[in-house]
Amino acid sequence: MESIIRVESNFNPRAVSRKGARGLMQLMPETARRLGVRNVFDTRENIEAGVRHLRYLSARFSGDVRLALAAYNAGEGPVKRHLGIPPYAETQAYVTRVLELSGWLEARPLGWAPEAVAEFVPDSRRVYRPWAVDTALRYVDVPAPLHPARH
């Protein structure tokens, strides 16, 4: 989630884009309304809504994190119309940058297509970033141990 926030708002909770997206996760007003966000500039509310939206997009695109990210940036319609990441320079750069920042591209070739890469806890009220890196992008509702076992 940190990589999305960095690319979306550079950690500015009061950020507003040219197109009207707001807050850390740059939620569009309609998306925020649909997700029940009362104060889009409230850090916790914004991140929780952004995670719920990303969870929905991940399920919508069969766990393909690249398509979920493309839809987060450009919307579901363009991803469905183009049957993949739309040929928009901004969206292609966005997906690449988020995956680079998260370390996703370092271990995988560009053509790698995961079968199920996103796993979320349904209806989670609190979201923590992962402390272990594996083949899944994982957000859970329990905090990681203070000192995870080192492998």
| Active site amino acids | 8
How is residue 146 written in tokens?
């203070």
SS3 80: helix
Q: How far is CA 16 from CA 13, 43, 95, 104, 151, in A?
A: 9, 14, 20, 27, 41
Q: Are 51 and 39 in contact (CB under 8 A)?
A: no
